[in-house]
Amino acid sequence: MPRQTRLDIPGLLQHVIVRGIERRNIFRTNTDRRDFVERLSRLLVETDTDCYAWALIPNHFHLLLKPKGCELKHFMRRLLTGYAVNFNKRYRRSGHLFQNRYKSIVCEEDAYLLELIRYIHLNPLRAGLVKNLEALARFPWCGHGVLLGNASMEGQSVKDVLTLFAEHPAPACKCYLAFVADGVAVGERPELVGGGLRRSCGQNISEEPQAFDERVLGGGDFVEKLSGLEPLKEGLAPKLDLGRLAHRVAEHFEIGIDELVERGRYPQRIAARDLFCYVAVRILGYSGVQAGKLLGLQRSAVSHAVRRGKVLAEQGGWRIESILVAN
């Protein structure tokens, strides 16, 4: 059976797994690991991609990403190609370094974000690269130590993760560490590394069948939402530019384009800006910086607007299609 095309829509949480060809090591020395981490860090910043977790094992690696400024395939192509070229030069080798296809699983963020962060950051312990949690906290080739403040990596979404546990860093780190410790006894979590009928829905045979997708880790409702976004995304080439999107949103809310851009606490204007940010970032794949530049908003303000715009789109009855396909 031919493989399905990837679900590659900016704004989706993606668990990425990359293995060496024939299970060979892709990280031989710390020089290799530093090269990879530095390359990953630069790309995260350049492409406005969120990284919630990462771990390097000698023959594979895990990333938990949310691409916003580009599609995942472009991010991974730059990451893998650049690293493979350097690796081959270093060891005077030729040929493929990675398996032909990296594995990417779209994940339902609300249900699985924390579980995936814990699963990925416990990988070095499960693989025997460190002996205990104390050693894992000092392990330099995993995002766990970065979250605890023992290391730094520009581009890793430290604050976004810690605020899920507590408002201030110290108690947040303590709660996060306890959460990770609770996961040690759980062991392997095969349901977190693949989608499909059982894994995406977590359903028993006796339960009423739900929508499922082998590319997705999430419930039936989440899968159905994705099935609506996928054909919509495919119909957006060439990409709608932000200026035209702004005019369409303004028309949709029956306000002038100047009212969309002007600051103010008028509910209609706020709703229009929120919907504009949601469509621009989550559906069209623009970065928060690009969307904010048109509206005169900082990236953090755009992020809040995206979340509010998502609620508008899902609960307010707005037909996104009517904006995107307007003449």
CATH number for the domain including 246?
A: 1.10.1750.10
Q: Per-residue confidence at 169, pLDDT binned at 50, 70, 90? A: very high
- Does residue 169 share a domain with residue 243? no
> For 276-297, how does the pLDDT look when each residue is reduced to its tens digit (9 = 90+)?
988 888 777 777 788 888 898 8
- In terms of pLDDT, which residue wins out, 98 or 235? 98
Q: Specify the pLDDT at position 316.
A: 59
Residues of the chain with pLDDT > 70, as a percent, come to: 83
Q: Per-residue confidence at 227, pLDDT binned at 50, 70, 90? A: low
Q: Per-residue confidence at 242, pLDDT binned at 50, 70, 90? A: confident
Q: Is the pLDDT of residue 203 over 50?
A: no
Q: Specify the pLDDT at position 313.
A: 77
133 falls within a domain: yes
309 falls within a domain: yes
- Does residue 240 share a domain with residue 188? no
- In terms of pLDDT, which residue wins out, 188 or 309? 309
Of 193, 226, 251, the residue that ends a domain is 193
Q: Is the pLDDT of residue 327 over 70?
A: no
- Does residue 185 share a domain with residue 297? no
223 falls within a domain: no
Q: Specify the pLDDT at position 87.
A: 96
Of 158, 193, 228, the residue that ends a domain is 193
Domain that holds residue 142: 13-193
- Does residue 184 share a domain with residue 292? no
Q: Is the pLDDT of residue 309 over 80?
A: yes
Mean pLDDT of 140-162: 96
> For 22-71, how does the pLDDT look when each residue is reduced to its tens digit (9 = 90+)?
989 999 999 999 999 999 999 999 988 999 999 999 999 999 999 887 88
- In terms of pLDDT, which residue wins out, 317 or 8? 8
Q: Specify the pLDDT at position 195.
A: 57
> For 245-277, how does the pLDDT look when each residue is reduced to its tens digit (9 = 90+)?
898 888 888 888 888 888 777 888 888 899 898
The answer to whether residues 239 and 9 touch, using CB atoms and an 8 Å cutoff, is no
Q: Specify the pLDDT at position 325.
A: 57
Q: Is the pLDDT of residue 173 over 90?
A: yes
Cα(91)–Cα(85) distance, integer angstroms: 10
> For 108-132, how does the pLDDT look when each residue is reduced to its tens digit (9 = 90+)?
888 899 999 999 999 999 999 999 9
Mean pLDDT of 296-305: 84
- Does residue 184 share a domain with residue 36? yes
Report the SS3 class of residue 150. coil
* CATH of residue 38: 3.30.70.1290
Cα(72)–Cα(77) distance, integer angstroms: 8
- Does residue 188 share a domain with residue 73? yes
306 falls within a domain: yes
320 falls within a domain: yes
Residues of the chain with pLDDT > 90, as a percent, come to: 44
Q: Specify the pLDDT at position 213.
A: 67
- Does residue 244 share a domain with residue 137? no
Q: Specify the pLDDT at position 201.
A: 46
Please state the domain count of the chain.
Answer: 2
Q: Specify the pLDDT at position 289.
A: 81
Q: Per-residue confidence at 189, pLDDT binned at 50, 70, 90? A: confident
Q: Per-residue confidence at 170, pLDDT binned at 50, 70, 90? A: very high
Mean pLDDT, the chain, whole residue set = 84
